[in-house]
Amino acid sequence: MSEVCAATIPSPGINETRQAPHVIETDVSFAERLDIRLTQPGKVKAILSSWQARAAKKLLMDNLDRSITIATVAKECSLSRSHFSRAFRNTTGHSPRDWLQTARLARAKELLELTDFSVSHVGFECGFADQPHFTRTFAKKIGMTPAKWRLENRPRQ
Protein backbone atom coordinates (compact mmCIF):
# COMPACT_ATOMS: atom_id res chain seq x y z
CA MET A 1 0.00 0.00 0.00
CA SER A 2 1.11 3.52 -0.65
CA GLU A 3 0.62 6.59 1.43
CA VAL A 4 0.58 10.08 0.03
CA CYS A 5 2.07 12.90 2.03
CA ALA A 6 2.79 16.50 1.23
CA ALA A 7 6.10 18.19 1.83
CA THR A 8 6.44 21.90 2.14
CA ILE A 9 9.13 23.22 -0.17
CA PRO A 10 10.23 26.79 -0.71
CA SER A 11 9.71 28.37 -4.09
CA PRO A 12 12.95 29.83 -5.45
CA GLY A 13 13.03 33.61 -5.17
CA ILE A 14 9.56 33.84 -3.58
CA ASN A 15 8.79 34.19 0.13
CA GLU A 16 5.99 31.66 0.04
CA THR A 17 5.88 27.90 0.13
CA ARG A 18 3.84 25.43 -1.85
CA GLN A 19 2.77 21.85 -1.36
CA ALA A 20 4.54 19.09 -3.32
CA PRO A 21 2.93 15.67 -3.27
CA HIS A 22 5.27 12.74 -2.64
CA VAL A 23 4.42 9.10 -2.66
CA ILE A 24 5.99 6.99 0.06
CA GLU A 25 5.93 3.28 -0.59
CA THR A 26 5.46 1.28 2.60
CA ASP A 27 5.27 -2.10 0.89
CA VAL A 28 8.62 -3.90 1.33
CA SER A 29 8.18 -5.77 -1.94
CA PHE A 30 8.53 -2.45 -3.75
CA ALA A 31 12.28 -2.57 -3.11
CA GLU A 32 12.35 -6.13 -4.40
CA ARG A 33 10.46 -5.17 -7.55
CA LEU A 34 13.01 -2.47 -8.27
CA ASP A 35 15.90 -4.80 -7.38
CA ILE A 36 17.08 -2.44 -4.68
CA ARG A 37 18.70 -3.68 -1.52
CA LEU A 38 18.34 -1.56 1.60
CA THR A 39 21.78 -1.47 3.21
CA GLN A 40 21.37 1.19 5.85
CA PRO A 41 18.40 3.27 6.81
CA GLY A 42 17.95 5.82 4.07
CA LYS A 43 20.47 4.20 1.68
CA VAL A 44 19.63 1.93 -1.21
CA LYS A 45 21.87 -0.39 -3.18
CA ALA A 46 21.04 -1.27 -6.77
CA ILE A 47 21.53 -4.89 -7.76
CA LEU A 48 20.87 -6.91 -10.90
CA SER A 49 17.72 -8.97 -11.14
CA SER A 50 18.28 -12.71 -11.49
CA TRP A 51 17.65 -12.62 -15.26
CA GLN A 52 20.07 -9.71 -15.67
CA ALA A 53 22.79 -11.45 -13.65
CA ARG A 54 22.33 -14.66 -15.67
CA ALA A 55 22.34 -12.78 -18.98
CA ALA A 56 25.41 -10.73 -18.08
CA LYS A 57 27.42 -13.74 -16.88
CA LYS A 58 26.41 -15.81 -19.92
CA LEU A 59 27.40 -13.03 -22.31
CA LEU A 60 30.72 -12.54 -20.54
CA MET A 61 31.42 -16.30 -20.54
CA ASP A 62 30.47 -16.60 -24.22
CA ASN A 63 33.04 -13.91 -24.98
CA LEU A 64 35.99 -15.11 -22.88
CA ASP A 65 38.11 -15.48 -26.00
CA ARG A 66 37.42 -12.04 -27.44
CA SER A 67 36.92 -8.48 -26.43
CA ILE A 68 33.52 -7.36 -25.23
CA THR A 69 32.58 -3.94 -23.93
CA ILE A 70 30.73 -3.33 -20.70
CA ALA A 71 28.35 -1.13 -22.70
CA THR A 72 27.39 -4.16 -24.81
CA VAL A 73 26.63 -6.25 -21.72
CA ALA A 74 24.75 -3.36 -20.11
CA LYS A 75 22.62 -2.96 -23.23
CA GLU A 76 21.67 -6.66 -23.08
CA CYS A 77 20.52 -6.05 -19.50
CA SER A 78 18.57 -2.93 -20.52
CA LEU A 79 20.70 -0.68 -18.29
CA SER A 80 23.08 2.21 -18.78
CA ARG A 81 26.78 1.32 -18.60
CA SER A 82 27.33 3.09 -15.28
CA HIS A 83 24.20 1.69 -13.60
CA PHE A 84 25.05 -1.81 -14.87
CA SER A 85 28.61 -1.60 -13.54
CA ARG A 86 27.42 -0.45 -10.11
CA ALA A 87 24.64 -3.06 -9.93
CA PHE A 88 26.97 -5.84 -11.15
CA ARG A 89 29.50 -4.97 -8.42
CA ASN A 90 26.75 -4.90 -5.78
CA THR A 91 25.41 -8.26 -6.98
CA THR A 92 28.66 -10.21 -7.46
CA GLY A 93 31.12 -8.34 -5.28
CA HIS A 94 33.35 -7.73 -8.33
CA SER A 95 33.44 -5.19 -11.12
CA PRO A 96 32.49 -6.62 -14.52
CA ARG A 97 36.12 -6.29 -15.66
CA ASP A 98 37.48 -8.13 -12.61
CA TRP A 99 34.81 -10.84 -12.89
CA LEU A 100 35.69 -11.37 -16.56
CA GLN A 101 39.41 -11.51 -15.78
CA THR A 102 38.81 -14.08 -13.03
CA ALA A 103 36.71 -16.20 -15.42
CA ARG A 104 39.44 -15.96 -18.08
CA LEU A 105 42.09 -17.05 -15.61
CA ALA A 106 39.95 -19.99 -14.44
CA ARG A 107 39.55 -21.07 -18.07
CA ALA A 108 43.30 -20.67 -18.60
CA LYS A 109 43.98 -22.97 -15.63
CA GLU A 110 41.67 -25.58 -17.18
CA LEU A 111 43.46 -25.39 -20.51
CA LEU A 112 46.91 -25.46 -18.92
CA GLU A 113 46.00 -28.53 -16.89
CA LEU A 114 44.06 -30.50 -19.51
CA THR A 115 45.71 -29.64 -22.85
CA ASP A 116 49.13 -29.46 -24.41
CA PHE A 117 48.47 -26.01 -25.87
CA SER A 118 51.38 -23.60 -25.68
CA VAL A 119 51.17 -20.85 -23.07
CA SER A 120 50.66 -18.26 -25.82
CA HIS A 121 47.85 -20.34 -27.36
CA VAL A 122 46.14 -20.67 -23.95
CA GLY A 123 46.39 -16.90 -23.49
CA PHE A 124 44.89 -16.31 -26.92
CA GLU A 125 42.05 -18.80 -26.26
CA CYS A 126 41.22 -16.93 -23.06
CA GLY A 127 41.04 -13.48 -24.65
CA PHE A 128 44.39 -12.00 -23.64
CA ALA A 129 46.01 -9.64 -26.15
CA ASP A 130 49.30 -11.52 -26.31
CA GLN A 131 51.46 -13.98 -24.37
CA PRO A 132 53.30 -11.34 -22.26
CA HIS A 133 49.96 -9.79 -21.24
CA PHE A 134 48.65 -13.24 -20.29
CA THR A 135 51.80 -14.14 -18.34
CA ARG A 136 51.86 -10.80 -16.47
CA THR A 137 48.18 -11.02 -15.52
CA PHE A 138 48.39 -14.70 -14.56
CA ALA A 139 51.50 -14.17 -12.42
CA LYS A 140 50.02 -11.11 -10.71
CA LYS A 141 46.73 -12.85 -9.80
CA ILE A 142 47.89 -16.46 -9.29
CA GLY A 143 51.37 -15.84 -7.93
CA MET A 144 53.38 -17.75 -10.54
CA THR A 145 53.79 -17.90 -14.29
CA PRO A 146 51.44 -20.06 -16.36
CA ALA A 147 54.29 -22.45 -17.28
CA LYS A 148 55.25 -22.96 -13.62
CA TRP A 149 51.58 -23.38 -12.63
CA ARG A 150 51.21 -26.04 -15.36
CA LEU A 151 54.23 -27.97 -14.07
CA GLU A 152 52.92 -27.93 -10.49
CA ASN A 153 49.28 -28.72 -11.28
CA ARG A 154 49.32 -31.09 -14.19
CA PRO A 155 48.14 -34.60 -13.34
CA ARG A 156 51.02 -37.06 -13.01
CA GLN A 157 51.03 -39.90 -15.52
- The predicted pLDDT at position 41 comes to 58
Query: Any idea which of 6-10, 44-48, 65-69, 124-128 has the lowest mean pLDDT?
Result: 6-10
Mean pLDDT to the nearest integer, 112-137: 95
Instruction: Tell me which DSSP letter residue 5 carries.
Output: E
DSSP symbols for 79-93: S-HHHHHHHHHHHHS
For 21-26, which contacts have Cβ atoms below 8 Å and span 24 or more sequence positions? 26/1, 26/2
What residue spans in the chain does CATH classification 1.10.10.60 cover?
98-153
Q: Considering the domain 98-153, what is its CATH architecture?
A: Orthogonal Bundle (1.10)
- The predicted pLDDT at position 42 comes to 59
- The predicted pLDDT at position 21 comes to 40
- The predicted pLDDT at position 6 comes to 39
- The predicted pLDDT at position 119 comes to 96
Encode pLDDT of 22-71 as tens digits: 433 333 343 344 444 444 555 668 899 999 999 999 999 999 999 999 99
DSSP symbols for 20-79: EEEEEE--THHHHHTTEEEEETTEEEE---HHHHHHHHHHHHHTTTS---HHHHHHHTTS
Closest CA to 71 of 80, 60, 62: 80
Closest CA to 125 of 115, 148, 71: 115
Q: Is the pLDDT of residue 4 over 90?
A: no
Encode pLDDT of 71-84 as tens digits: 999 999 999 999 99
